[in-house]
Amino acid sequence: DQQVKQNSPSLSVQEGRISILNCDYTNSMFDYFLWYKKYPAEGPTFLISISSIKDKNEDGRFTVFLNKSAKHLSLHIVPSQPGDSAVYFCAARFGNEKLTFGTGTRLTIIP
């Protein structure tokens, strides 16, 4: 039972344009959401997070949007850069439960 879903396994975006990565979840109890970035042969690294009491959180070129009614969150990267090419995982948690990860989206930035 995949409670956190990333339905696009891959995404290609032109350098300089906006990258939008999507994530849907089924558990309405989730109250904290995170995005991780993973380069090949490396472990995931934390990118940005959002609490369920907010609908937007911004950090430089990265913005995460949360739509609780739709159980949907998205990560916007603008402008996209070649170094953004990686696999992006969303993850969710409620209370002190362990993180539930999505399956990842491979983002490729085309120079």
Partner 1 sequence: NAGVMQNPRHLVRRRGQEARLRCSPVKGHSHVYWYRQLPEEGLKFMVYLQKENIIDESGMPKERFSAEFPKEGPSILRIQQVVRGDSAAYFCASSPLLGAETEAFFGQGTRLTVV
**Smaller CB distance to partner 1: residue 2 or 14?**
2
Amino acid at 102: G
Q: How far is CA 107 from CA 9, 45, 102, 110, in A?
A: 9, 15, 15, 10
> Shortest distance, CB of residue 14 to partner 1, whole angstroms?
27
Q: Which listed residue (15, 45, 67, 94) binds partner 1 by CB under 8 A?
A: 45
> Shortest distance, CB of residue 16 to partner 1, whole angstroms?
30
Beta-carbon contacts of residue 76 (< 8 Å; ≥ 6 apart): 18, 19, 20, 62, 63, 64, 65
Site residues, partner 1 (CB under 8 A): 2, 4, 6, 32, 34, 41-46, 49, 89, 91, 93, 96, 98-104
